[in-house]
Chains A and B, each alone.
Chain A
Amino acid sequence: MLAEAAPAVTTTRLDKTYRSQSRDGTFTETHALSNINLNIAQGEFICIIGASGCGKSTLLRIVAGFETLTTGELQVMGKTPAGPGPDRGMVFQDYALFPWLSVAQNIAYGPRQAGLPKAQVAELTERYLDMVGLQKFRDRFPHELSGGMKQRVAIARVLANDPAVILMDEPFGALDAITRNGLQESLLQIWEKARKTILFITHSVDEAVYLADRVVVLSPHPGRLKLEIPVELARPRDIASVEFNVLKRTLLDAIAPDIAVEAAALA
Protein backbone atom coordinates (compact mmCIF):
# COMPACT_ATOMS: atom_id res chain seq x y z
CA MET A 1 0.00 0.00 0.00
CA LEU A 2 1.16 3.51 -0.73
CA ALA A 3 1.82 5.72 2.27
CA GLU A 4 -0.96 8.18 3.03
CA ALA A 5 -0.77 10.12 -0.21
CA ALA A 6 -3.23 12.87 -1.07
CA PRO A 7 -6.74 11.48 -1.44
CA ALA A 8 -7.92 10.86 -4.99
CA VAL A 9 -11.38 12.34 -4.43
CA THR A 10 -12.81 14.33 -1.57
CA THR A 11 -16.23 15.87 -1.25
CA THR A 12 -16.90 18.31 1.55
CA ARG A 13 -20.49 19.15 2.56
CA LEU A 14 -21.44 18.62 -1.07
CA ASP A 15 -25.01 19.63 -1.83
CA LYS A 16 -27.01 19.46 -5.04
CA THR A 17 -30.40 21.03 -5.65
CA TYR A 18 -32.10 20.90 -9.01
CA ARG A 19 -34.30 23.81 -9.89
CA SER A 20 -36.78 23.20 -12.65
CA GLN A 21 -39.43 25.49 -14.05
CA SER A 22 -42.82 23.97 -14.71
CA ARG A 23 -45.26 25.18 -17.36
CA ASP A 24 -47.08 27.62 -15.10
CA GLY A 25 -43.77 29.34 -14.41
CA THR A 26 -43.34 28.17 -10.83
CA PHE A 27 -40.04 26.70 -9.78
CA THR A 28 -39.74 23.31 -8.17
CA GLU A 29 -36.67 22.46 -6.20
CA THR A 30 -35.44 18.92 -5.85
CA HIS A 31 -32.88 18.31 -3.20
CA ALA A 32 -30.82 15.55 -4.80
CA LEU A 33 -27.77 15.37 -2.53
CA SER A 34 -27.30 16.64 0.99
CA ASN A 35 -24.08 17.07 2.91
CA ILE A 36 -22.00 14.42 1.19
CA ASN A 37 -18.57 14.02 2.81
CA LEU A 38 -16.43 11.41 1.14
CA ASN A 39 -12.75 10.75 1.26
CA ILE A 40 -11.46 8.32 -1.32
CA ALA A 41 -7.84 7.22 -1.19
CA GLN A 42 -5.71 6.71 -4.28
CA GLY A 43 -6.09 3.19 -5.58
CA GLU A 44 -9.21 2.55 -3.56
CA PHE A 45 -12.16 0.67 -5.04
CA ILE A 46 -15.39 2.23 -3.80
CA CYS A 47 -18.87 0.96 -4.53
CA ILE A 48 -21.85 3.21 -4.00
CA ILE A 49 -25.26 1.61 -3.56
CA GLY A 50 -28.68 2.88 -2.63
CA ALA A 51 -32.36 2.80 -3.56
CA SER A 52 -33.41 4.68 -6.66
CA GLY A 53 -33.54 8.43 -6.11
CA CYS A 54 -30.64 8.37 -3.67
CA GLY A 55 -28.59 10.52 -6.00
CA LYS A 56 -25.80 8.02 -6.64
CA SER A 57 -25.69 8.77 -10.36
CA THR A 58 -25.88 12.50 -9.67
CA LEU A 59 -22.92 12.24 -7.35
CA LEU A 60 -20.92 10.42 -9.99
CA ARG A 61 -21.90 12.93 -12.66
CA ILE A 62 -20.81 15.78 -10.42
CA VAL A 63 -17.41 14.15 -9.92
CA ALA A 64 -17.21 13.62 -13.70
CA GLY A 65 -17.97 17.31 -14.27
CA PHE A 66 -21.14 16.72 -16.28
CA GLU A 67 -23.13 18.45 -13.57
CA THR A 68 -22.27 21.18 -11.12
CA LEU A 69 -22.62 21.03 -7.36
CA THR A 70 -24.81 23.61 -5.65
CA THR A 71 -22.77 24.13 -2.50
CA GLY A 72 -19.80 22.44 -0.89
CA GLU A 73 -16.57 21.35 -2.42
CA LEU A 74 -15.19 18.66 -4.69
CA GLN A 75 -11.51 17.94 -5.10
CA VAL A 76 -9.83 15.46 -7.40
CA MET A 77 -6.15 14.88 -6.68
CA GLY A 78 -6.16 18.02 -4.58
CA LYS A 79 -7.67 20.27 -7.23
CA THR A 80 -11.16 21.51 -7.98
CA PRO A 81 -11.96 20.30 -11.49
CA ALA A 82 -13.59 22.66 -13.97
CA GLY A 83 -15.90 20.60 -16.15
CA PRO A 84 -15.26 17.12 -17.52
CA GLY A 85 -11.71 16.06 -18.26
CA PRO A 86 -9.51 13.09 -19.08
CA ASP A 87 -8.34 12.78 -15.46
CA ARG A 88 -11.80 11.39 -14.65
CA GLY A 89 -12.73 8.61 -17.04
CA MET A 90 -16.35 7.55 -17.15
CA VAL A 91 -17.73 4.14 -18.07
CA PHE A 92 -21.41 4.46 -18.92
CA GLN A 93 -24.03 1.75 -18.58
CA ASP A 94 -24.93 2.13 -22.26
CA TYR A 95 -21.25 2.07 -23.35
CA ALA A 96 -21.33 5.33 -25.39
CA LEU A 97 -18.67 4.05 -27.79
CA PHE A 98 -18.18 6.03 -30.97
CA PRO A 99 -19.99 3.88 -33.55
CA TRP A 100 -17.92 5.27 -36.45
CA LEU A 101 -14.62 4.19 -34.90
CA SER A 102 -13.25 0.67 -34.72
CA VAL A 103 -12.39 -0.96 -31.40
CA ALA A 104 -8.75 0.10 -31.75
CA GLN A 105 -9.71 3.63 -32.82
CA ASN A 106 -12.08 3.98 -29.88
CA ILE A 107 -9.25 3.07 -27.52
CA ALA A 108 -6.85 5.40 -29.32
CA TYR A 109 -9.33 8.30 -29.19
CA GLY A 110 -8.30 9.69 -25.78
CA PRO A 111 -4.53 9.57 -26.33
CA ARG A 112 -5.09 11.28 -29.70
CA GLN A 113 -7.01 14.12 -28.04
CA ALA A 114 -4.10 14.47 -25.64
CA GLY A 115 -1.88 15.06 -28.66
CA LEU A 116 0.49 12.19 -27.90
CA PRO A 117 2.91 11.17 -30.64
CA LYS A 118 1.68 8.45 -33.01
CA ALA A 119 4.01 5.76 -31.71
CA GLN A 120 2.86 6.31 -28.17
CA VAL A 121 -0.82 6.27 -29.18
CA ALA A 122 -0.22 2.95 -30.94
CA GLU A 123 1.60 1.51 -27.96
CA LEU A 124 -1.17 2.51 -25.52
CA THR A 125 -3.79 1.08 -27.87
CA GLU A 126 -1.98 -2.27 -28.03
CA ARG A 127 -1.46 -2.39 -24.28
CA TYR A 128 -5.14 -1.85 -23.47
CA LEU A 129 -6.40 -4.05 -26.30
CA ASP A 130 -4.35 -6.80 -24.69
CA MET A 131 -5.49 -5.92 -21.19
CA VAL A 132 -9.18 -6.29 -22.02
CA GLY A 133 -8.55 -9.28 -24.31
CA LEU A 134 -9.89 -7.75 -27.52
CA GLN A 135 -6.82 -8.03 -29.76
CA LYS A 136 -8.78 -10.25 -32.16
CA PHE A 137 -11.59 -7.73 -32.43
CA ARG A 138 -9.44 -4.64 -32.92
CA ASP A 139 -10.83 -3.79 -36.34
CA ARG A 140 -14.47 -4.51 -35.55
CA PHE A 141 -17.02 -1.76 -35.12
CA PRO A 142 -19.17 -1.35 -32.03
CA HIS A 143 -22.34 -2.65 -33.66
CA GLU A 144 -20.54 -5.94 -34.34
CA LEU A 145 -19.75 -6.53 -30.64
CA SER A 146 -21.72 -8.09 -27.79
CA GLY A 147 -22.64 -5.95 -24.77
CA GLY A 148 -19.84 -7.42 -22.70
CA MET A 149 -17.27 -6.72 -25.41
CA LYS A 150 -18.52 -3.16 -25.81
CA GLN A 151 -18.08 -2.57 -22.11
CA ARG A 152 -14.53 -3.95 -22.30
CA VAL A 153 -13.79 -1.43 -25.05
CA ALA A 154 -15.30 1.34 -22.91
CA ILE A 155 -13.05 0.36 -20.00
CA ALA A 156 -9.95 0.16 -22.21
CA ARG A 157 -10.80 3.53 -23.78
CA VAL A 158 -10.82 5.15 -20.35
CA LEU A 159 -7.69 3.34 -19.14
CA ALA A 160 -5.75 4.53 -22.21
CA ASN A 161 -6.11 8.08 -20.87
CA ASP A 162 -4.41 7.08 -17.61
CA PRO A 163 -7.06 8.84 -15.49
CA ALA A 164 -6.70 9.57 -11.79
CA VAL A 165 -10.16 8.17 -11.15
CA ILE A 166 -12.39 5.80 -13.07
CA LEU A 167 -16.09 6.48 -12.64
CA MET A 168 -18.42 3.61 -13.44
CA ASP A 169 -22.17 4.17 -13.57
CA GLU A 170 -23.84 0.77 -13.19
CA PRO A 171 -21.54 -0.46 -15.94
CA PHE A 172 -22.63 -4.09 -15.84
CA GLY A 173 -26.32 -3.43 -15.17
CA ALA A 174 -27.43 -4.20 -18.71
CA LEU A 175 -25.46 -7.44 -19.04
CA ASP A 176 -26.54 -11.01 -18.37
CA ALA A 177 -25.31 -12.71 -15.19
CA ILE A 178 -22.55 -14.79 -16.80
CA THR A 179 -21.11 -11.89 -18.81
CA ARG A 180 -21.35 -9.74 -15.69
CA ASN A 181 -19.34 -12.21 -13.62
CA GLY A 182 -16.70 -12.37 -16.34
CA LEU A 183 -16.41 -8.61 -16.45
CA GLN A 184 -16.24 -8.33 -12.67
CA GLU A 185 -13.29 -10.73 -12.71
CA SER A 186 -11.59 -8.81 -15.52
CA LEU A 187 -12.19 -5.48 -13.80
CA LEU A 188 -10.58 -6.73 -10.58
CA GLN A 189 -7.57 -8.03 -12.51
CA ILE A 190 -7.23 -4.75 -14.37
CA TRP A 191 -7.62 -2.79 -11.15
CA GLU A 192 -4.94 -4.86 -9.46
CA LYS A 193 -2.58 -4.28 -12.38
CA ALA A 194 -3.31 -0.62 -13.00
CA ARG A 195 -4.01 0.38 -9.38
CA LYS A 196 -6.57 2.94 -10.34
CA THR A 197 -9.03 4.61 -8.03
CA ILE A 198 -12.48 3.35 -8.95
CA LEU A 199 -15.83 4.85 -8.03
CA PHE A 200 -18.39 2.27 -8.99
CA ILE A 201 -22.15 2.62 -8.79
CA THR A 202 -24.32 -0.44 -8.58
CA HIS A 203 -27.75 -1.46 -7.41
CA SER A 204 -26.49 -4.96 -6.62
CA VAL A 205 -25.38 -5.59 -3.04
CA ASP A 206 -23.61 -8.76 -4.19
CA GLU A 207 -21.61 -6.84 -6.77
CA ALA A 208 -20.67 -4.18 -4.22
CA VAL A 209 -19.43 -6.67 -1.60
CA TYR A 210 -17.64 -8.70 -4.26
CA LEU A 211 -15.74 -5.77 -5.77
CA ALA A 212 -15.23 -2.99 -3.27
CA ASP A 213 -12.65 -2.05 -0.66
CA ARG A 214 -15.38 0.03 0.87
CA VAL A 215 -19.12 0.20 0.27
CA VAL A 216 -20.97 3.49 0.64
CA VAL A 217 -24.72 3.39 1.14
CA LEU A 218 -26.78 6.42 0.13
CA SER A 219 -30.32 6.98 1.29
CA PRO A 220 -32.88 8.90 -0.81
CA HIS A 221 -34.84 12.18 -0.62
CA PRO A 222 -32.49 13.90 -0.26
CA GLY A 223 -29.52 11.70 -1.09
CA ARG A 224 -27.29 11.45 1.94
CA LEU A 225 -24.63 9.16 3.34
CA LYS A 226 -26.19 6.44 5.41
CA LEU A 227 -23.45 3.95 5.97
CA GLU A 228 -19.87 3.23 5.02
CA ILE A 229 -18.49 -0.26 5.46
CA PRO A 230 -14.99 -1.43 4.65
CA VAL A 231 -14.87 -4.86 3.06
CA GLU A 232 -11.81 -6.54 4.48
CA LEU A 233 -12.22 -9.92 2.81
CA ALA A 234 -9.29 -11.31 0.86
CA ARG A 235 -9.73 -11.54 -2.91
CA PRO A 236 -10.88 -13.59 -4.74
CA ARG A 237 -13.93 -13.43 -2.53
CA ASP A 238 -16.20 -16.37 -1.90
CA ILE A 239 -19.73 -15.14 -2.38
CA ALA A 240 -21.03 -18.19 -0.49
CA SER A 241 -18.88 -17.62 2.60
CA VAL A 242 -20.35 -16.64 5.97
CA GLU A 243 -18.31 -13.43 6.16
CA PHE A 244 -19.52 -12.34 2.72
CA ASN A 245 -23.11 -12.93 3.69
CA VAL A 246 -22.80 -11.17 7.03
CA LEU A 247 -21.71 -8.03 5.17
CA LYS A 248 -24.42 -8.52 2.60
CA ARG A 249 -27.04 -8.78 5.38
CA THR A 250 -25.82 -5.54 6.97
CA LEU A 251 -26.04 -3.70 3.65
CA LEU A 252 -29.43 -5.14 2.76
CA ASP A 253 -30.74 -4.07 6.17
CA ALA A 254 -29.41 -0.57 5.55
CA ILE A 255 -31.21 -0.30 2.22
CA ALA A 256 -34.39 -2.15 3.19
CA PRO A 257 -36.32 0.80 4.72
CA ASP A 258 -35.68 2.92 1.60
CA ILE A 259 -36.87 0.16 -0.66
CA ALA A 260 -39.94 -0.33 1.53
CA VAL A 261 -40.76 3.37 1.20
CA GLU A 262 -40.34 3.11 -2.56
CA ALA A 263 -42.57 0.03 -2.71
CA ALA A 264 -45.23 1.77 -0.61
CA ALA A 265 -45.08 4.80 -2.90
CA LEU A 266 -45.63 2.59 -5.92
CA ALA A 267 -48.45 0.57 -4.33
Chain B
Amino acid sequence: MAVPGWVYSLALPIVLIAAWQLATVGKSFSLIPPPSTVVLTAWDYAFGGIRNDAYSGTFATNAMASISRVFGGFFVAMVIAIPLGLILGRVLVCRRLIDPTLQFLRPIPVTAWLPLTMILFGLGPPATIALIALGTFFPMLLNTVDGVRLVEPRLIEAAEMLGTPKAAIFARVILPAASPSIFTGIRIGLGLAWVLLVVGEMTGVPTGLGANIMDARQLSRTDLVISGMIYIGILGFLSDRIVMLIGRRALWWNPSAR
Protein backbone atom coordinates (compact mmCIF):
# COMPACT_ATOMS: atom_id res chain seq x y z
CA MET B 1 0.00 0.00 0.00
CA ALA B 2 2.81 2.42 -0.80
CA VAL B 3 0.88 5.34 -2.25
CA PRO B 4 3.29 8.16 -3.14
CA GLY B 5 2.85 11.44 -1.29
CA TRP B 6 2.01 13.48 -4.37
CA VAL B 7 -1.08 11.34 -4.98
CA TYR B 8 -2.45 12.54 -1.66
CA SER B 9 -1.42 16.13 -2.41
CA LEU B 10 -3.23 16.16 -5.77
CA ALA B 11 -6.41 14.37 -4.68
CA LEU B 12 -8.13 17.38 -3.13
CA PRO B 13 -7.33 19.87 -5.96
CA ILE B 14 -8.59 17.38 -8.55
CA VAL B 15 -11.88 16.91 -6.70
CA LEU B 16 -12.32 20.66 -6.27
CA ILE B 17 -11.54 21.42 -9.90
CA ALA B 18 -13.90 18.68 -11.08
CA ALA B 19 -16.69 20.11 -8.90
CA TRP B 20 -15.96 23.60 -10.19
CA GLN B 21 -16.05 22.40 -13.81
CA LEU B 22 -19.35 20.57 -13.30
CA ALA B 23 -20.94 23.55 -11.57
CA THR B 24 -19.96 26.14 -14.18
CA VAL B 25 -19.56 24.53 -17.60
CA GLY B 26 -22.17 25.34 -20.26
CA LYS B 27 -23.84 28.06 -18.16
CA SER B 28 -23.50 31.08 -20.39
CA PHE B 29 -24.36 33.59 -17.67
CA SER B 30 -22.17 32.15 -14.95
CA LEU B 31 -20.09 34.88 -13.29
CA ILE B 32 -17.45 32.29 -12.55
CA PRO B 33 -15.83 30.78 -15.63
CA PRO B 34 -15.20 27.00 -15.76
CA PRO B 35 -11.65 25.78 -15.17
CA SER B 36 -11.27 24.93 -18.85
CA THR B 37 -11.70 28.63 -19.70
CA VAL B 38 -9.29 29.62 -16.94
CA VAL B 39 -6.67 27.21 -18.28
CA LEU B 40 -6.94 28.78 -21.73
CA THR B 41 -6.69 32.28 -20.28
CA ALA B 42 -3.74 31.31 -18.08
CA TRP B 43 -1.97 29.87 -21.12
CA ASP B 44 -2.77 32.95 -23.19
CA TYR B 45 -1.64 35.23 -20.33
CA ALA B 46 1.68 33.40 -20.26
CA PHE B 47 2.34 32.73 -23.96
CA GLY B 48 -0.30 34.59 -26.01
CA GLY B 49 -1.70 33.30 -29.29
CA ILE B 50 -5.24 32.49 -28.12
CA ARG B 51 -7.14 35.61 -27.14
CA ASN B 52 -4.83 38.30 -28.49
CA ASP B 53 -6.04 40.91 -26.02
CA ALA B 54 -4.14 43.44 -23.91
CA TYR B 55 -3.03 40.71 -21.49
CA SER B 56 -1.91 38.06 -23.97
CA GLY B 57 1.66 37.03 -23.38
CA THR B 58 2.23 39.69 -20.72
CA PHE B 59 2.70 37.34 -17.77
CA ALA B 60 6.52 37.44 -17.76
CA THR B 61 6.66 41.24 -17.67
CA ASN B 62 4.05 41.49 -14.95
CA ALA B 63 5.51 38.65 -12.94
CA MET B 64 8.96 40.25 -13.02
CA ALA B 65 7.46 43.53 -11.80
CA SER B 66 5.69 41.72 -8.95
CA ILE B 67 8.69 39.59 -8.01
CA SER B 68 10.90 42.67 -7.80
CA ARG B 69 8.37 44.37 -5.49
CA VAL B 70 7.85 41.29 -3.31
CA PHE B 71 11.58 40.76 -2.84
CA GLY B 72 12.26 44.50 -2.68
CA GLY B 73 9.78 44.99 0.15
CA PHE B 74 10.92 41.80 1.84
CA PHE B 75 14.61 42.78 1.74
CA VAL B 76 13.94 46.32 2.95
CA ALA B 77 12.01 44.87 5.89
CA MET B 78 14.65 42.22 6.55
CA VAL B 79 17.64 44.56 6.67
CA ILE B 80 15.81 46.73 9.22
CA ALA B 81 13.98 44.04 11.21
CA ILE B 82 16.86 41.65 11.87
CA PRO B 83 19.46 44.13 13.18
CA LEU B 84 16.76 45.94 15.16
CA GLY B 85 15.53 42.63 16.53
CA LEU B 86 19.05 41.64 17.59
CA ILE B 87 19.39 44.90 19.49
CA LEU B 88 15.93 44.74 21.06
CA GLY B 89 16.49 41.15 22.09
CA ARG B 90 19.76 41.97 23.81
CA VAL B 91 19.36 45.46 25.24
CA LEU B 92 16.59 45.85 27.79
CA VAL B 93 16.61 49.65 27.63
CA CYS B 94 15.98 49.61 23.89
CA ARG B 95 13.24 47.04 24.32
CA ARG B 96 11.54 49.22 26.94
CA LEU B 97 11.85 52.28 24.73
CA ILE B 98 10.67 50.78 21.45
CA ASP B 99 8.60 47.71 22.19
CA PRO B 100 5.36 49.44 23.38
CA THR B 101 5.23 51.55 20.21
CA LEU B 102 5.81 48.50 18.04
CA GLN B 103 3.11 46.54 19.84
CA PHE B 104 0.71 49.41 19.21
CA LEU B 105 1.56 49.65 15.49
CA ARG B 106 1.55 45.92 14.88
CA PRO B 107 -2.22 45.20 14.78
CA ILE B 108 -2.91 47.99 12.25
CA PRO B 109 -3.76 46.22 8.97
CA VAL B 110 -1.54 46.90 5.98
CA THR B 111 -4.64 47.86 4.00
CA ALA B 112 -5.21 50.75 6.42
CA TRP B 113 -1.73 52.04 5.65
CA LEU B 114 -2.54 52.25 1.93
CA PRO B 115 -3.71 55.90 1.77
CA LEU B 116 -0.88 57.18 3.99
CA THR B 117 1.70 55.23 2.04
CA MET B 118 0.47 56.73 -1.22
CA ILE B 119 0.74 60.22 0.25
CA LEU B 120 4.25 59.54 1.53
CA PHE B 121 5.64 57.60 -1.43
CA GLY B 122 3.39 58.75 -4.27
CA LEU B 123 1.72 56.56 -6.86
CA GLY B 124 3.82 53.68 -8.10
CA PRO B 125 6.24 50.97 -7.13
CA PRO B 126 7.91 52.67 -4.10
CA ALA B 127 4.53 52.72 -2.32
CA THR B 128 4.03 49.04 -3.17
CA ILE B 129 7.44 48.16 -1.79
CA ALA B 130 6.77 50.22 1.33
CA LEU B 131 3.48 48.42 1.98
CA ILE B 132 5.03 44.99 1.53
CA ALA B 133 7.94 45.98 3.76
CA LEU B 134 5.57 47.24 6.44
CA GLY B 135 3.60 44.01 6.48
CA THR B 136 6.59 41.68 6.51
CA PHE B 137 8.57 43.72 9.04
CA PHE B 138 6.79 42.63 12.21
CA PRO B 139 6.99 38.84 11.94
CA MET B 140 10.70 39.09 11.13
CA LEU B 141 11.31 41.52 13.99
CA LEU B 142 9.36 39.56 16.59
CA ASN B 143 10.95 36.24 15.67
CA THR B 144 14.41 37.78 15.86
CA VAL B 145 13.70 39.37 19.26
CA ASP B 146 12.32 36.10 20.62
CA GLY B 147 15.18 34.10 19.15
CA VAL B 148 17.73 36.30 20.89
CA ARG B 149 15.85 36.58 24.16
CA LEU B 150 15.20 32.88 24.48
CA VAL B 151 18.78 31.72 23.99
CA GLU B 152 19.50 29.17 26.72
CA PRO B 153 21.45 31.00 29.45
CA ARG B 154 23.30 27.70 29.91
CA LEU B 155 24.83 28.02 26.45
CA ILE B 156 26.20 31.44 27.33
CA GLU B 157 27.60 30.07 30.59
CA ALA B 158 29.15 27.18 28.70
CA ALA B 159 30.79 29.59 26.28
CA GLU B 160 32.08 31.71 29.16
CA MET B 161 33.64 28.82 31.03
CA LEU B 162 35.26 27.62 27.79
CA GLY B 163 37.06 30.93 27.51
CA THR B 164 34.98 32.86 24.96
CA PRO B 165 35.89 36.57 25.15
CA LYS B 166 32.91 38.62 26.38
CA ALA B 167 32.76 40.62 23.16
CA ALA B 168 32.59 37.42 21.08
CA ILE B 169 29.68 35.79 22.94
CA PHE B 170 27.15 37.50 20.69
CA ALA B 171 28.66 36.33 17.41
CA ARG B 172 29.74 32.88 18.56
CA VAL B 173 26.76 31.87 20.70
CA ILE B 174 23.75 34.16 20.62
CA LEU B 175 23.60 34.59 16.85
CA PRO B 176 23.86 30.90 15.96
CA ALA B 177 21.51 29.93 18.80
CA ALA B 178 18.92 32.47 17.62
CA SER B 179 19.28 31.65 13.93
CA PRO B 180 16.47 29.03 13.71
CA SER B 181 13.99 31.54 15.09
CA ILE B 182 15.32 34.31 12.82
CA PHE B 183 14.96 31.95 9.88
CA THR B 184 11.35 31.19 10.82
CA GLY B 185 10.70 34.94 10.78
CA ILE B 186 12.27 35.22 7.33
CA ARG B 187 10.10 32.42 6.01
CA ILE B 188 6.90 33.88 7.45
CA GLY B 189 7.92 37.31 6.15
CA LEU B 190 8.47 36.17 2.60
CA GLY B 191 5.19 34.25 2.62
CA LEU B 192 3.39 37.37 3.80
CA ALA B 193 5.07 39.45 1.09
CA TRP B 194 3.18 37.43 -1.51
CA VAL B 195 -0.05 37.67 0.48
CA LEU B 196 0.34 41.46 0.48
CA LEU B 197 1.08 41.72 -3.23
CA VAL B 198 -2.45 42.55 -4.39
CA VAL B 199 -2.99 45.19 -1.70
CA GLY B 200 0.48 46.51 -2.46
CA GLU B 201 -0.33 46.91 -6.14
CA MET B 202 -3.48 48.89 -5.40
CA THR B 203 -1.21 51.93 -5.31
CA GLY B 204 -1.78 52.75 -8.94
CA VAL B 205 1.04 50.76 -10.48
CA PRO B 206 0.25 49.83 -14.09
CA THR B 207 2.01 46.44 -14.12
CA GLY B 208 2.23 43.44 -11.85
CA LEU B 209 0.14 40.38 -11.15
CA GLY B 210 -1.78 42.16 -8.38
CA ALA B 211 -2.43 45.19 -10.58
CA ASN B 212 -3.64 42.90 -13.39
CA ILE B 213 -6.04 41.21 -10.99
CA MET B 214 -7.51 44.54 -9.89
CA ASP B 215 -7.85 45.69 -13.52
CA ALA B 216 -9.38 42.38 -14.59
CA ARG B 217 -11.92 42.74 -11.80
CA GLN B 218 -13.01 46.14 -13.20
CA LEU B 219 -13.37 44.50 -16.62
CA SER B 220 -15.27 41.51 -15.16
CA ARG B 221 -12.53 39.27 -16.54
CA THR B 222 -12.89 36.70 -13.74
CA ASP B 223 -10.94 34.15 -15.81
CA LEU B 224 -7.97 36.50 -15.71
CA VAL B 225 -8.47 37.17 -11.97
CA ILE B 226 -8.29 33.45 -11.28
CA SER B 227 -5.27 33.01 -13.58
CA GLY B 228 -3.45 35.72 -11.62
CA MET B 229 -4.37 34.04 -8.34
CA ILE B 230 -2.97 30.73 -9.54
CA TYR B 231 0.29 32.32 -10.68
CA ILE B 232 0.73 34.17 -7.37
CA GLY B 233 0.15 30.89 -5.57
CA ILE B 234 2.78 29.14 -7.68
CA LEU B 235 5.38 31.90 -7.29
CA GLY B 236 4.78 32.10 -3.54
CA PHE B 237 5.13 28.34 -3.24
CA LEU B 238 8.37 28.33 -5.27
CA SER B 239 9.93 31.15 -3.30
CA ASP B 240 9.08 29.36 -0.02
CA ARG B 241 10.73 26.19 -1.35
CA ILE B 242 13.88 28.11 -2.21
CA VAL B 243 14.05 29.69 1.24
CA MET B 244 13.43 26.28 2.83
CA LEU B 245 16.32 24.78 0.86
CA ILE B 246 18.64 27.59 1.91
CA GLY B 247 17.50 27.21 5.51
CA ARG B 248 18.05 23.48 5.53
CA ARG B 249 21.59 23.96 4.30
CA ALA B 250 22.41 26.76 6.72
CA LEU B 251 20.67 25.22 9.74
CA TRP B 252 21.43 21.58 9.05
CA TRP B 253 22.17 21.07 12.73
CA ASN B 254 18.69 22.05 13.81
CA PRO B 255 16.35 19.03 13.98
CA SER B 256 13.21 21.19 13.79
CA ALA B 257 14.27 22.73 10.44
CA ARG B 258 13.95 19.39 8.67
Contact = CB atoms under 8 A, between A and B. Distances in A.
B154 to A, nearest CB: 4
A27 interface: no
A98 B163 contact: no
A79 B252 CA distance: 42
A90 interface: yes
5 contacts: A85-B163, A86-B161, A96-B152, A109-B162, A113-B164
B158 interface: yes
A94 B153 CA distance: 12
A205 B160 CA distance: 31
* Nearest 8 pairs of A and B residues by beta carbon: A86-B163, A84-B160, A113-B163, A96-B158, A96-B154, A110-B162, A143-B255, A100-B176
Contacts of A94: 154
Interface residues of B, number: 22
B165 interface: yes
A89 B161 CA distance: 6
B8 interface: no
B157 A66 contact: yes
Interface string A97-116: 11111100000011001100
Contacts of B160: 65-66, 83-85
A153 to B, nearest CB: 11
B253 interface: yes
B157 A90 contact: yes
B253 A100 contact: yes
B254 A92 contact: no
Given A86-B163, A92-B157, 10 more contacts: A64-B157, A85-B160, A85-B163, A90-B161, A92-B158, A96-B152, A96-B157, A99-B254, A100-B254, A161-B163
A101 B179 CA distance: 13
Interface string B244-257: 00000001111100
Contacts of B152: 96
B155 interface: yes
Contact of B162 (A100, A141, A157): A157
A156 B125 CA distance: 57
B236 to A, nearest CB: 29
Interface in B207-258: 251-255
Contacts of B154: 92, 94, 96
Contact of A88 (B161, B165, B254): B161
B173 interface: yes
A209 to B, nearest CB: 28
B179 to A, nearest CB: 8
Contacts of B177: 99-100
Contact of A90 (B155, B158, B164, B168): B158
B184 to A, nearest CB: 16
Contacts of A89: 161-162
A98 B254 contact: no
Instruction: Identify the interface centre among A83, A88, A96, A157: most chain B CB within 10 Å of its CB.
Output: A96
A223 B57 CA distance: 81
A110 B163 contact: yes
A96 B155 contact: yes
A109 B160 CA distance: 11
A40 B159 CA distance: 25
Contacts of B179: 100
Nearest to B160: A84
Given A92-B154, A141-B253, A143-B253, A98 B173 contact: yes
B257 to A, nearest CB: 11
